[in-house]
Chain A
Amino acid sequence: MKEPERITLDLVRAHGLTEEEYKKIKDMLGRDPNFTELGIFSVMWSEHCSYKSSKPLLRMFPTSGENILIKAGEENAGVVDIGEGLAVVMKMESHNHPSAVEPFQGAATGVGGIIRDIFTMGARPIALLDSLRFGHLGNGRNRYLFSGVVGGIAAYGNCTGIPTVGGEVYFDETYEGNPLVNVMCVGVARRDNLVKARANGVGNPVLYVGADTGRDGLGGASFASRELTKESDKDRPAVQIGDPFKEKLLLEACLELLNTGVVVGMQDMGAAGLTSSTSETASRGNSGMRIDLSLVPRREEGMIPYELMLSESQERMLVIIKRGKERETRRVFDKWDLHAVPIGEVTDDGYLTVLDKDTRVAEIPAKFLTEDAPVYMREEREPEYLGKIKDVSISTIPEPQDYDDVLKILLASPTISSKRWVYEQYDYMIRTDTVLRPGGDAAVIRIKGTEKAIALTCDGNGRYCFLDPYEGGKIAVAEAARNVVCVGAKPLAITNCLNFGNPTKPYVFWQFRRCVEGIADACGILETPVSGGNVSFYNENPKGAIDPTPVVGMLGLIEKMDFICTPWFKKEGDLIILLGECRGEIGGSEYLQLIHGLKLGRIPRLDLERERAVQDTCLEVIRAHLVSSAHDCSEGGLAVTLAECCISNSGKERGAIIELEAFPEILSIRMDALLFGETQSRILISCHPRNFPQIQRVARRNKVPYARLGVVTGDRLTIRKIKKRVLDLSLKELGEKWRKGLSHGDD
């Protein structure tokens, strides 16, 4: 690559900067930037790095709480205190656009990036979760993307020895051409071992550690900030090849180095590689940094400063150590056969100074690139489509003739069906800490050396947010919290990934604001502050914006592992109880979409106080050892939840007989709305009959309605209304449908 002779406005625009932004750069510097500096500004001021469209709104999130040690935005990931001197570090990130072009490597490098965000803080990564969305599975391209993404996550996660323990997969035409690949990583550290991404101490050496630099991803941060079009297939340089082996070496070496006490600060080279790591550490440390690019190890010849600064080559870290500790540092990296090259030092002039031997190639005050990046209040406008879809009367929806058929169709649908095909490709057992494996409401990971365990889940619903962004945002948080409660954990904090369309479109920005408000309100009432997260804009394809899809990653804490609750029915004779009430809300449901082909209606209302009460009740009865199982009601409604409780424990399926008269609402709600409506704040539990009175007392004390629906028995799922059979299927039939959804016809 050669440097252009002069900087034209076309060149500025090609870098994703506006004319106003370019003028601002000139004003701030007091001169024209050179080509390298233009590149540096363009990546640091890109949407992906600067959050310029989202920062003002993200301030709505509650970020502090008694368990929050390091708040969102302060460092690479948020940190939550879990007691006994231990801290959980967690974050979720998206890699949507690269995965659309090259699914295997796009997903793999996404995993690589989020893992580095965790161990860069001094925490050993102990779990991964993935939230994936694709277009309809019937389409060959989507099958290809799906297989590739799962394969890439498996290859990278398994090789680095971190269990992938949970996640979700959705299929909807809104994600056609623009799949969503959100990966969450969670790590554990001792509180006093946490490392910050700050450059401090004048003269302290700055080390480049890890893989050689190549021309990977040049323009990648801008790639994420631009829409995908048919042209994107030619965006070859923006796809990188991950090296999970190198990552594993980096992980072990960095953690080992941290124990020696020589590390002042550390940051992974992620988006915009050298540029972001140097400017961000200098900016956070209120210091400066000087580096010499001629010292950077490279695998290509003839790389110019612009390329070296913007390269997104994977598996590289920036490490700032105490002066004089070079030998100890070298010893650790030599042991692991890793490059560790001093490329510069910390200064106190506030500048990011980039040299190439003796030539100064860039000189920018670090804060110009970070704190002083522009921030925009985008125009917003409520979308017109909302007015047309809000209300749908159930009387306009034809009632199904055969409820057995409806349930079979729902269970076999890719979004609802068993995800075994996915998670059996992930090593979810590595580290021997996975106490509750994939397939439940949340994964549970024990913390050896303590009696504690953490519960993890990720949840989101794009269709709800399309129909009602505010309510949908609330529900994403509520459902995630409900899921960890169902395994016996107390919800502590969330991370999140906000996937939206082009924010310069007023209706998209309106959707974004409303979702953020919903999430913020729910986090407030449920007391689960936001520990950090990621925003992914420009998720569009030639046909339009995706449904607004905020994904919430929830962390829950189990203080004593003596009872972990699973969702499946256990013993013949156990009673089946629904906590919460049925309101027959079918708006936005899977039932409405799959059976009637409709995506409309008022989505289920979420009453946060009721939600809280239901969660408190459930947690209390689980911890008092009163229940045999607990499962949250979500996609597909009550009937699907019941079926899952019956069949999801392979080899130990249990039938049930349900009498719908137990519901006072039975007379006023139509049968399909009752069975398949997705009313919120409901948990299905089962218990030994002798425990029922106590459960009733707890529910009443929390003012939570409940209904005793039936009993665990036999080998069929039978739902009756006043002796008349509404639904009656054998466990074998239910299981066959549910297990088939995703598999390709083999095993």
Chain B
Amino acid sequence: MKFGVVVFPGSNCDDDCYYVVRDLLGEEVDFIWHKETRVEGFDCLILPGGFSYGDYLRTGAIARFSPIMRAISNFAGRGGLVIGICNGFQILLESNLLPGAMMKNKNLRFICRFVNIRVENNLTPFTNLCQIGQVLKVPIAHIDGSYYADHETIGSLKENNQIIFRYCSEEGGLAQESNPNGSKDFIAGISNRQGNVLGLMPHPERASESILGSEDGRLIFESVVRAVKG
């Protein structure tokens, strides 16, 4: 199988994702420059974290018009797997490949720290190796990470099991103190209706080796491999 890591001007976590897939998982991976217009031969595309276009105007607002986005949209439409991490998630939101929007963290500052997220749905290609309610220790690093969607949209997300991860305490409970940025309904990650596009604010590629503090994030990448290879 083959992963693709999309690189926008200003992407920073592309190397990190590439490293996890190639060096830790031993899977084939290529970088895809944002000016490309086709994606062929890939099973999973990763839109990595960073500051595409400096986050100028609105985060993800300019990257959504990159030439590659049309191909990604078609790829997703065909059922291809797409993971948007942090800025990647923001780009997917601006592109309407996922519903909702990101707002500034409630404390109006950048936050870099390990948090806990709870797996709400383990029937996706991204979480099939997890248990429902499993707590994963993964880091966040963002200033615009407060997920927002209107009442109707949140209702729809719940109905269709599109909420994949929620911020929680170490024991898995939901409480304001464990919600680092004020996200609606403690939402840390969601999928689209069909379940093949995932967006999450935490960085699983930074929690894939014990030397960095946690290996929990690796489960997401390994789940994808399992989903594709069987």
**A and B associate:** yes
Q: In the docked arrangement, what's the CA distance between A425 and B109, Å?
A: 7
Q: In the docked arrangement, what's the CA distance between A570 and B35, Å?
A: 51
Are A435's CB and B211's CB within 8 A?
yes
Are B56's CB and A432's CB within 8 A?
no
Interface residues of B in 178-226 (CB under 8 A from A): 203, 205-206, 208-209, 211-212
Given A424-B112, A448-B19, A430 and B56 contact (CB-CB distance below 8 Å): no
Which residue in chain B gives the minimum CB-CB distance to A426?
B112
Distance in Å: Cβ of A395 to nearest Cβ of chain B: 48
Q: Is A642 an interface residue (CB 8 A)?
A: no
New A-B pairs, 4, CB < 8 Å, besides A248-B10, A430-B141, A432-B16: A158-B141, A245-B51, A248-B9, A249-B9
Q: Is A663 an interface residue (CB 8 A)?
A: no
* Count of residues in B whose CB is under 8 Å from the partner chain: 32
Q: Is B13 an interface residue (CB 8 A)?
A: yes
Are B55's CB and A159's CB within 8 A?
yes
Given A336-B9, A427-B141, A432 and B109 contact (CB-CB distance below 8 Å): no
Q: Is A154 an interface residue (CB 8 A)?
A: yes
Are A154's CB and B110's CB within 8 A?
yes
Are A426's CB and B10's CB within 8 A?
no
Q: In the docked arrangement, what's the CA distance between A336 and B35, Å?
A: 10
Q: Is B53 an interface residue (CB 8 A)?
A: yes
A245 / chain B contacts, CB cutoff of 8 Å = 9-10, 51, 53-54, 56
Q: Interface digits, A718-747 against B, CB 8 Å rule (1 contact, 0 not)?
A: 000000000000000000000000000011
Given A425-B110, A425-B112, A432 and B141 contact (CB-CB distance below 8 Å): no
Q: Interface digits, A420-457 against B, CB 8 Å rule (1 contact, 0 not)?
A: 00011111111110110000000000101000000000
11 A-B pairs with CB atoms under 8 Å apart are: A154-B109, A158-B51, A161-B13, A245-B9, A425-B111, A426-B112, A429-B206, A430-B12, A430-B16, A432-B19, A432-B20
Are B212's CB and A435's CB within 8 A?
yes
B54 / chain A contacts, CB cutoff of 8 Å = 159, 243-246, 248
Q: Is B15 an interface residue (CB 8 A)?
A: yes
Are B110's CB and A432's CB within 8 A?
no
A424 / chain B contacts, CB cutoff of 8 Å = 109-113
A609 / chain B contacts, CB cutoff of 8 Å = none
A244 / chain B contacts, CB cutoff of 8 Å = 51, 54
Interface residues of B in 29-86 (CB under 8 A from A): 33, 35, 50-51, 53-56
Q: In the docked arrangement, what's the CA distance between A431 and B112, Å?
A: 13
Which residue in chain A gives the minimum CB-CB distance to B205?
A432
Are B10's CB and A429's CB within 8 A?
no
Partner-A contacts on B (CB < 8 A): 9-10, 12-13, 15-16, 19-20, 23, 33, 35, 50-51, 53-56, 107, 109-113, 139, 141, 203, 205-206, 208-209, 211-212
Contact of A159 among B10, B16, B19, B112 (CB under 8 A): B10
Contact of A432 among B35, B107, B206 (CB under 8 A): B206
Q: Chain A binding site: helix, strand, loop or mixed by DSSP?
A: loop
Given A158-B110, A249-B9, A424-B113, A429 and B141 contact (CB-CB distance below 8 Å): yes
Which residue in chain B gives the minimum CB-CB distance to A747?
B107
Are A161's CB and B19's CB within 8 A?
no
Are A432's CB and B12's CB within 8 A?
no
A427 / chain B contacts, CB cutoff of 8 Å = 110, 112, 141
Contact of B51 among A159, A337, A432, A746 (CB under 8 A): A159
Q: In the docked arrangement, what's the CA distance between A155 and B12, Å?
A: 14
Partner-B contacts on A (CB < 8 A): 151, 154-155, 158-161, 243-246, 248-249, 335-337, 423-432, 434-435, 446, 448, 561, 746-747
Q: In the docked arrangement, what's the CA distance between A176 and B179, Å?
A: 38
Closest 8 CB pairs of A and B: A245-B54, A161-B12, A159-B51, A427-B141, A432-B16, A425-B110, A427-B112, A429-B206
A746 / chain B contacts, CB cutoff of 8 Å = 107
Which residue in chain B gives the minimum CB-CB distance to A446?
B211
Given A425-B110, A747-B107, A430 and B13 contact (CB-CB distance below 8 Å): yes
Q: In the docked arrangement, what's the CA distance between A355 and B208, Å?
A: 56
Distance in Å: Cβ of A378 to nearest Cβ of chain B: 43
Instruction: Choose among A335, A336, A429 the residue with the greatest number of B CB atoms under 10 Å from its CB.
Output: A429
Distance in Å: Cβ of B36 to nearest Cβ of chain A: 12
Given A243-B54, A426-B112, A427-B112, A432 and B212 contact (CB-CB distance below 8 Å): yes
Distance in Å: Cβ of B46 to nearest Cβ of chain A: 14
Q: In the docked arrangement, what's the CA distance between A154 and B51, Å?
A: 13
Are A429's CB and B112's CB within 8 A?
yes
A154 / chain B contacts, CB cutoff of 8 Å = 109-110
Q: In the docked arrangement, what's the CA distance between A425 and B212, Å?
A: 19
Q: In the docked arrangement, what's the CA distance between A448 and B19, Å?
A: 10
Are B112's CB and A337's CB within 8 A?
no
B107 / chain A contacts, CB cutoff of 8 Å = 746-747
Instruction: Choose among A246, A424, A561 the residue with the greatest number of B CB atoms under 10 Å from its CB.
Output: A424
Q: In the docked arrangement, what's the CA distance between A746 and B177, Å?
A: 12
Q: In the docked arrangement, what's the CA distance between A434 and B141, Å?
A: 14
Q: In the docked arrangement, what's the CA distance between A429 and B54, Å?
A: 18
A158 / chain B contacts, CB cutoff of 8 Å = 51, 110, 141
Are B16's CB and A431's CB within 8 A?
yes
Instruction: Choose among A160, A337, A430, A434 the residue with the greatest number of B CB atoms under 10 Å from its CB.
Output: A430
Distance in Å: Cβ of B14 to nearest Cβ of chain A: 9
Q: In the docked arrangement, what's the CA distance between A428 and B203, Å?
A: 13
Contact of A337 among B9, B208, B212 (CB under 8 A): B9
Instruction: Choose among A432, A434, A561, A746 the residue with the greatest number of B CB atoms under 10 Å from its CB.
Output: A432
Given A429-B206, A432-B205, A248 and B16 contact (CB-CB distance below 8 Å): no
B212 / chain A contacts, CB cutoff of 8 Å = 429, 432, 434-435
Are B9's CB and A161's CB within 8 A?
no
A246 / chain B contacts, CB cutoff of 8 Å = 54
Are B15's CB and A431's CB within 8 A?
yes
Distance in Å: Cβ of A43 to nearest Cβ of chain B: 29
Instruction: Choose among B12, B16, B53, B112 the residue with the greatest number of A CB atoms under 10 Å from its CB.
Output: B112
A434 / chain B contacts, CB cutoff of 8 Å = 212
Q: In the docked arrangement, what's the CA distance between A429 and B202, Å?
A: 12
Q: In the docked arrangement, what's the CA distance between A337 and B212, Å?
A: 35
Which residue in chain A gives the minimum CB-CB distance to B177?
A747
Distance in Å: Cβ of B45 to nearest Cβ of chain A: 20
Distance in Å: Cβ of A651 to nearest Cβ of chain B: 8
Distance in Å: Cβ of A614 to nearest Cβ of chain B: 28
Distance in Å: Cβ of A155 to nearest Cβ of chain B: 8
B10 / chain A contacts, CB cutoff of 8 Å = 159, 245, 248-249
B139 / chain A contacts, CB cutoff of 8 Å = 429
Are A161's CB and B112's CB within 8 A?
no
Which residue in chain A gives the minimum CB-CB distance to B52?
A245
Given A432-B16, A432-B205, A426 and B110 contact (CB-CB distance below 8 Å): yes
Are B211's CB and A248's CB within 8 A?
no
Q: In the docked arrangement, what's the CA distance between A690 and B190, Å?
A: 51
Q: In the docked arrangement, what's the CA distance between A693 and B13, Å?
A: 47
Q: In the docked arrangement, what's the CA distance between A675 and B41, Å?
A: 66
Q: In the docked arrangement, what's the CA distance between A597 and B219, Å?
A: 55
Instruction: Choose among B20, B35, B55 the residue with the greatest number of A CB atoms under 10 Å from its CB.
Output: B55
Q: In the docked arrangement, what's the CA distance between A318 and B141, Å?
A: 33
Which residue in chain B gives the minimum CB-CB distance to A249?
B9
Q: In the docked arrangement, what's the CA distance between A337 and B33, Å?
A: 13
Q: In the docked arrangement, what's the CA distance between A337 and B205, Å?
A: 28
Given A425-B110, A429-B141, A429-B203, A161 and B53 contact (CB-CB distance below 8 Å): no
A448 / chain B contacts, CB cutoff of 8 Å = 19, 23
Distance in Å: Cβ of B56 to nearest Cβ of chain A: 7
Distance in Å: Cβ of A70 to nearest Cβ of chain B: 26
Q: In the docked arrangement, what's the CA distance between A426 and B111, Å?
A: 7
Q: In the docked arrangement, what's the CA distance between A423 and B111, Å?
A: 9
Q: In the docked arrangement, what's the CA distance between A600 and B139, Å?
A: 45
Q: In the docked arrangement, what's the CA distance between A158 and B141, Å?
A: 9
Distance in Å: Cβ of B86 to nearest Cβ of chain A: 10
Which residue in chain A gives the minimum CB-CB distance to B180?
A747
B9 / chain A contacts, CB cutoff of 8 Å = 245, 248-249, 336-337
Q: In the docked arrangement, what's the CA distance between A424 and B208, Å?
A: 21
Which residue in chain A gives the minimum CB-CB distance to B13?
A430
Distance in Å: Cβ of B109 to nearest Cβ of chain A: 5
B111 / chain A contacts, CB cutoff of 8 Å = 424-425
